[in-house]
Each structure stands twice: as C-alpha cells, then as structure tokens.
Structure 1
Amino acid sequence: MTTDIDIKHHGAVLGVTGSCHELRVGDSGILIDCGLFQGTDFREDLDIDFEIEHIRALVVTHVHVDHVGRIPYLLIAGFKGPIFCTEPSAQLLPAMLEDALKFNDKYSKQQDKQILRQMERQIRPLPYEQWQSLLGTDIRFRFQHAGHILGSAYVECEAAGQRVIFSGDIGAPNSPLIIETTPPPPCDVLVLESTYGDRDHQSRVDRRLRLKALVEQCFADGGTVLIPAFSLGRTQDLLYELEGIIHDFGQDLAAPGIPWNKLDIILDSPLAAKLTDLYRSLKSYWNEEARDLLKQGRQPLAFDQLIIVDSHEDHLICVEKIVNSSKPAVVIAGSGMCAGGRVVNYLKELLGDPHNDIIFVGFQAEDTPGRVIVESGPRFGEPEQADRFAWVELDDERFEINAQIHKMNGYSAHGGQTDLINFAMAIDPHPRQIRLVHGETDAKLALQARLQEKMPGVEVIIPFTEDAE
C-alpha cells in the first residue's frame, strides 16, 4: 500500500462554516465532518460536489450544524458507510438533523424521515480514547475530548505510518458541564480550527458575575433582555450560569422590585428544550463540578424560574406578552446568529425600542443578521459608535436597531487565540505541518503569524480553495 497520505478540504476553507475534510490513503478515505454553509459561505445548492465512492466512513467531531448539517445530502449522494461519533453525539445527532431538515424544501417529509432512519442505522458510537480500525484500509482513528460542547472531540488518525489530528472545534477552559480538552499527542500534521485565531475572550472565571451585573444594568432601562443563543451548547451554558446566579444571589434585585429568585427565565426554542433534556440524560458525561451540583440536589438545567415555550401558538402568545407587559424577563431564543428561528420574531418587536437590550454570547458569521446587529447597533456605554441609521433585514423587511447591543465573548464555546496556540504547542515534538481552517481570513492570518513565531520550523499553511491539497 502507498505510504502517501492526502488531505483535502471540502469546506471551512473560505470561512468559518461548512467543515468537511478528507484523509485519503491509496484507494480509501474517510471524511471528518460534513457541515452546513452559513453566512458569507451560504450555498443554495448543498448537493455533494466531490467524489465519495472511495469514502469508507464519516467521522463526526461534534454535532453543530456547521459540522453535520450536510450529512443528509451525503446520504442522498449514495454514502452508505458507517458514521462514527462519540456516545453523547450519537444521541444528540438525530435531534439536530431532524430540526435542520424542517427547513429543507428540496425533499418531502417522507423523504426526510427516510433520510433520518438511514442515518440512525449508520451511526456507530465510540467511546473516547478507543482506537477504531477500518477493515481493508491502513486507517485507524480515535476520539479525544475537545472541551467544546457535550460529546465534542478532536480526531487522531493514523495512516501509512503517519498521524494526523483534526481539531474539530477546540473549547475554552472552565466551560460549564464540559470535560476539559485532552492534551494532544505527537502528530505529523495538525488540521486546526481558527474561529478566534485573531483574539482572546474575556475571562471565563468571573463571567457569571459579569452576566449578573449586565442583566441588572439592562433591566434598569425598563425593557426586556433577549439572548440569541445556539440551541446546543450555548443555551445549556447559559441555563447553568443563570441557575448559579439564582442560587447564590436569589435575594439580590435583578430588576426594580424583582429579586433574581422571582425573575422569569424564558427558553423559547423547541430544539434547545429537547437538547437540554438530552443533556440531562447524559449526566455521566458532565464534568465533576456539574455532577457535584446534582449530588447537592440542585438542577442546573431545570430550575423553578425556567419557563419552556413549546408550541408555535405559545411562542406567539409569549412574544405578545413580552411586548405588552412591563414585567422584566430574560428570553433565550434561537437561532444564535439570528438567521432564522423564533428569535427573529422577538427581534422584530424589540429592536426598535432603546429600553430593550440584546446580549450576544456567540460567534456571528459574516453576512448574518446577528453580525449586522452587533456591528451596527448602539453599544451599551458607547452610543456614539452606533450607526444612527442602523437597520437589519429580517424576513425581507428592514428593522431599525435602537435597542442596546452587548457582546460577551466569555461565553463562546470556542477557544480563543491563546487556547489554540496552547493546543498546538502542547504537541511534543511539534508537527511538521499545521493547516488552518474554519476561520475568516484575518483570523487565520493572525493565527498563522503567531504560530510561526512560537513554533519556528513548523510549516503553517492556509488552504484557500476547496479541495486544497
């Protein structure tokens, strides 16, 4: 068998989304992720546009849609091989793709059901740290904790006497619920994400106190606090932190006349509610701190002040109540980048009123409504920086941005620049090559420069085109 390995990138090279990478040895190959394109990367046509006849398996790092959202199209293209993922991801993946297919207008509901049934038959859950060989190939791989979301992993691959690590998404330290990233072992090539390759986050250690202070300040304006949040990962982080605030500071005033232990926390996202239930069923995969809370009798993802909005009818009623009531509330709704979902209806009603506050806690890809709002709207404490004529387009209609806009980077599920550099430098001896993917151009260039400075002698490259070799 040939001793050459070939790495190709079918996504996440021109931007942050659409992660899909291929490791090929001779006549066989595997895919690492098969994700959806969003924001600047958005594509109308999601059909698989690369050869798959030689692909023996799909290996999933985690179940965010920019890493798994294109799996239905891979199946439609004829892929019948195993879909390997960690044991938590195996339980979360069907829910994520069932939701994604609701917005698909290419296939009928019956076809959607067939796709989901086929996918579930092909899923092969694997424990962390267990090597898996592919019969008839010179390829084996295993999952290691990536510290990003529940079930997330980076993938070690061995083939033709070489080792390649695909990072997936690397998490930041001190994440609620999540086990920390496992230090990476030696490898020849590292394929590294670069979402925040050009900056670090605010400290995560005191972020609960910063969230408490920010929410209290927002309510001083007399409006509603809206948090657009990704259904998987970010929502559960927020619930965990809010439960901690309520437990530790329940008698403190969250808003004039209303203490934290009487404040309504509204979760208006059917997918987020379903995934939160799955998170609770996966307690054995939580970190030690979170499991200790359970032993104390606390329920960090199911507390008394939490109100779950289920049906679409209840959602419309909730939006109306929020708009017409003076009672303060924290509303968490998806999608995180405001490109769809129930958060859009809240934004339409709340953005125009300067008494309301929107808190962003996650990455906003280029050309998404969330990115427009963050960059154009009034920043709390910096109103002079706002665009006086700022607006955002939602459902083909323009809405003025007058609400106060806040961004808390400390809640990102991604590691910052320092975390990415530390991950790469932990590989001893250093890899001969690092390939930067899953980032905007400025982020990749900044990370490339820092890695070249910190790791002289290592080739750090940026694939700029699809199928880059």
Structure 2
Amino acid sequence: MRLVCHGAARGVTGSCHLLEAGGRRVLVDCGLFQGGDGIEEANRRPFGFDPATVDALLLTHAHLDHCGRLPLLVREGFRGEVIATAATRDLARLVLLDAAHLQEAEAAWRARKAARRGRRPPPGPLYGLLDVLEAMDRFGRIARYGEPLEVLPGLRATFHDAGHILGSAFLVLEHGGRRVAFSGDLGSPGHPVLRDPEPAPAVDAVVMESTYGDRRHRPLADSVAELVEVVDRTLRGGGNVVVPSFALERAQELLYFLREAVEDGRLPAAMPVFLDSPMAIAATEVFRRHPECYDREARALLEAGRDPFRLPGLRATRETADSMAINQIRGGAVIIAGSGMCTGGRVLHHLRHNLWRRECAVVLVGFAAEGTLARRLVDGARRVRILGEDIPVRASIHTINGFSAHADRAELAAWHAGARARRTVLVHGETRAMEALAARLGGGVVCPREGEPVPLALADPAAGLRADGGRPGCR
C-alpha cells in the first residue's frame, strides 16, 4: 500500500489523499484550498494525478476543504463511485451548489470590472452549477457506520462516526491483511448535538489530522458561559454581536446553546437572532432530517416534540435584501453569518458595519487559518481591509475556542493511542501544530510534503520515509 497526499500536506486545507493498493487507486477526500494568498492558483493547478485513473472516492465529510474539488475531479475525467454517509451526501450537495453559485457570481463581477477598465477577461469560475450536478451523479452506495463495504475487489472500507459534523466519518481501509485508518476531521467529545467520536480500532497505519495538535480547548461549559455573557453585556450596551460561523455544525450548535440560554432566562426571549446564511438555513433543515446522528440530549428534545435549533427571536434571512436590512439595526441583535474564517460571504458586510463601533462585539468560535481575516482579528489587528475599505477595529473581539468541532491535542493523542499504529502520517495542520503533535506521539510519525509518496508497510517503526532528509517526523 502506498499513499500520496495531494492536499492538506503541511497545511490545513485541500485534503486529498491517494491510496494505491493492489493496482487500484482510491481517493480519500478531494477538498478546496482555502485562506491565504495564492489559493485560487492552488485550486486551479493540476491534481498531481490523472483523475481518470482513480477507481473510487471516499468522502469523510462535507466541509468544503474535504469535498470542494469534486466537481473539478469529475470534469477532469473521474468516472468512479463516490461513497459517503447519507448525511454527508445531503450536505455535500448544499455545499457544492453554494460554492458554484458564489464562484459564478464572483467571476461575473470580475468580468464586468475588467470590461469597464478595458482589460483582458479574467479566468472564469473554478466550476459552475452544471459541474456540481454532474459530480452528484457520481455518488453511489451509502455508507453506514460500522458496516464494512467492499469498495473494490479486495479492498474493504468501514465508516466510523467521527463526531465532527453531521455524517462525518473516519475510515478504516483493509487490503491484503493490512489496515489503514484515515481520521478525516475528528470531533471533540462532550458536545450536545452530535455523538462523540468512536474510538479508533487497532490498525497498522493511520493518516491523521493535526489541526489543534498544539493546544487544548477550553471546557465547553465555560465557553457557553462566556458566549452568553458577551451577548448579554453587548446587547445591554446597545451594540450588536456578530458571530462569523461555519454553516455546518457550528451554526446549529450556536442556535442550540442560545435556545438553552433563552429558556433558562439567561438571555431575553425577545432577543432577535439572525441566521444570515442561506446555506446554514438549508443545512439546519438537513440536520432535522438526520436525527440518527444525534447525541442523546438532542434526540430527547426531538422525541419530546421540541426543535433543538429554534428559539423565539430566530429570523432566517435567505434573501439578499433581508440581509442588507440587518445593517440598519444599530443595536440589540445577534447576527450569525458565514463564513467562519471571514474569507467571504455575508459576514463581511456585517463586519464592515459593526467592527468600527465600540459598543459592538465580534465572537470568533472556529478555527482561523493563517492569512484569513478571522486570523488577523484573533491576532489583534487594529485596522483591516474589508470589501476594499480600511476599517478600524474598535469592537471587542472574543475568541472562544471551546466550541471547536475539532479534537484538541489531548483528544487526538487519546484517539491515536487506541489505534496502536506503527506508522502515523500527520496531515491537515499548520507546521507548529504538526510538530507539537508529532513530538507527543513519538516514533513512526511522518509529515509528508504535497506529492511525496509515503510507504505504509513498515517492518520497523523507527525506519521508513525520511520526510525532509532527517529522522521520521516533521522537522
């Protein structure tokens, strides 16, 4: 068995891992690169392999950095089967259609701008709506947690609940007596909507994310308490609270906790909460259709006839005009909008109207990759550029990382210990996080660069690939 990482290699986004076994080729995830400079060029460059030679694609979950290049893969010749859980299939359709719509709109705007200035037309969208529809035709069998599935003759895959977002999975692939686990993105235990990640079974090798490999999360209860306190104080002070949020899982969890705070009397029932993201609104509907993924707390609410995500002041804004109208509200509103890293979407307009106001607050509840606007806010920038305008940062900025849908350093190490793997390949993390996790996990760890082959058969855990000319590891 041989692995080549064509994305998320010493980086956080663009997960795309090609496994070769018995003359067949299977891809695990095919995501977009996101955040930072040069991202468009990275997404437009060749895959590093011929998509027509790939026999199957296994999706761990529906985040754009794990499924977002699927339409390109199909357009470039992939004719194999896409296998995912039912919830991942439903969410992937939303995510990809939304991405195509945004790309087509952005390309049209750039073309108009170039024409006005008499310049050459810029490149078109990365892919369009028709490309997404063709990609969705490649989806085949539905994977069910814990049920082995023969992907190809001699190659078996089992999907296990990763507890990251709705339908997320880590995979165990078996071929020729060897077992390799792909973690996808692992969730953090103890959240009330989704089940905790399943323990890792024993495998020979593991390909593992390292997003938070260098830090611990705050306790979730403390994070919820801080969120409620920030919202209450800001609303009493006459300001708005802007929450940049990922549309999948994070938005739904925020609604869950705000509903609890209203029901407990910690926040006013009349408080207007705007879910200003068409994709988050649609994703919440998908959540309601897949209670099989819920933890016991959320399932108990459903069984009692209650909606876990609905609170009295919730207003879902699908139309652009309704979104624009929110910015006429000077104070007293909670605005949840995408994107989570502030790389685009409606949240940019809300930040533009609220970031310069001292009475307002911005609450960052997710991972912020290097080079993104969210990361600049986290790092304390005093001025930022939004939609071509320099905006002073006067609102209070709150980073609450206890809501993270990713496992932290200790949780990653505990999951890894259960796998008892002699070869560990770290992916999907910034260099600092990878190095810290590699040091914690010990021998047999490598952090390959993009396009670098990794042999997964290992007789001696201290031998094998030397990722950068030195001993196995990230340095």
Q: Same fold (TM over 0.5)?
A: yes
Which residue, 235, 243, 251 being the options, matches 2:259? Answer: 243
Cα distance in 2 for partners of 1:365, 1:413 equals 15
Query: CA shift at 1:38, angstroms?
Result: 1.0
Instruction: Tell me if the contact between 1:190 and 1:431 (Cα under 8 Å) persists in the aligned partners.
Output: yes
Matched residue, 1:392: 384
Instruction: Tell me if the contact between 1:174 and 1:205 (Cα under 8 Å) persists in the aligned partners.
Output: no
Cα distance in 1 for partners of 2:299, 2:288 equals 11
Matched residue, 1:406: 398
Query: CA shift at 1:401, angstroms?
Result: 1.0
Q: Does 1:131 align with 2:148?
A: yes
Instruction: Tell me if the contact between 1:376 and 1:391 (Cα under 8 Å) persists in the aligned partners.
Output: no
Q: Does 1:301 align with 2:300?
A: no
Query: CA shift at 1:115, angstroms?
Result: 1.9
Matched residue, 1:435: 425
Query: CA shift at 1:64, angstroms?
Result: 0.4
Matched residue, 1:101: 100
Instruction: Tell me if the contact between 2:241 and 2:362 (Cα under 8 Å) persists in the aligned partners.
Output: yes
Matched residue, 1:463: 448
Identity rate of aligned residues, in percent?
37
Q: Does 1:360 align with 2:350?
A: no
Matched residue, 1:36: 32
The DSSP-based 3-state class of the residue aligned with 2:352 is: helix
Q: How many residue pairs get matched?
A: 432
Which residue, 313, 317, 321 being the options, matches 2:325? Answer: 317
Instruction: Tell me if the contact between 2:53 and 2:78 (Cα under 8 Å) persists in the aligned partners.
Output: no
Matched residue, 1:75: 74
Instruction: Tell me if the contact between 2:52 and 2:79 (Cα under 8 Å) persists in the aligned partners.
Output: no
Query: CA shift at 1:45, angstroms?
Result: 4.9
Matches within 5 A, 1:49-448: 49-51=47-49, 52-104=51-103, 105=107, 112-124=128-140, 125-135=142-152, 137-249=153-265, 252=266, 254=267, 260-319=268-327, 321-322=328-329, 325-326=330-331, 328-377=332-381, 390-427=382-419, 430-448=420-438
Query: CA shift at 1:49, angstroms?
Result: 2.4
Cα distance in 2 for partners of 1:134, 1:234 equals 31
Name stretches of at least 5 consecutive residues in structure 2 with no aligned partner: 108-122, 455-475
The DSSP-based 3-state class of the residue aligned with 1:376 is: coil
The DSSP-based 3-state class of the residue aligned with 1:85 is: strand
The DSSP-based 3-state class of the residue aligned with 1:66 is: helix
Matched residue, 2:5: 9
Matched residue, 2:43: 46
The DSSP-based 3-state class of the residue aligned with 2:92 is: helix
More displaced stretch, 39-48 vs 390-399: 39-48
- The residue type paired with residue 368 of structure 2 is Q
Query: CA shift at 1:333, angstroms?
Result: 0.5
Instruction: Tell me if the contact between 2:250 and 2:405 (Cα under 8 Å) persists in the aligned partners.
Output: yes
Instruction: Tell me if the contact between 2:101 and 2:129 (Cα under 8 Å) persists in the aligned partners.
Output: no
- The residue type paired with residue 444 of structure 1 is M
Instruction: Tell me if the contact between 1:27 and 1:54 (Cα under 8 Å) persists in the aligned partners.
Output: no
Cα distance in 2 for partners of 1:363, 1:176 equals 20
Cα distance in 2 for partners of 1:396, 1:444 equals 34
The DSSP-based 3-state class of the residue aligned with 2:90 is: helix
Query: CA shift at 1:343, angstroms?
Result: 0.3
RMSD, aligned CA: 1.7
Query: CA shift at 1:468, angstroms?
Result: 4.1
Query: CA shift at 1:443, angstroms?
Result: 0.3
Taking structure 1 as the reference length, what is the TM-score of the superposition?
0.89
Cα distance in 2 for partners of 1:304, 1:194 equals 39
Cα distance in 2 for partners of 1:82, 1:221 equals 54
The DSSP-based 3-state class of the residue aligned with 2:41 is: coil
Instruction: Tell me if the contact between 2:171 and 2:182 (Cα under 8 Å) persists in the aligned partners.
Output: yes
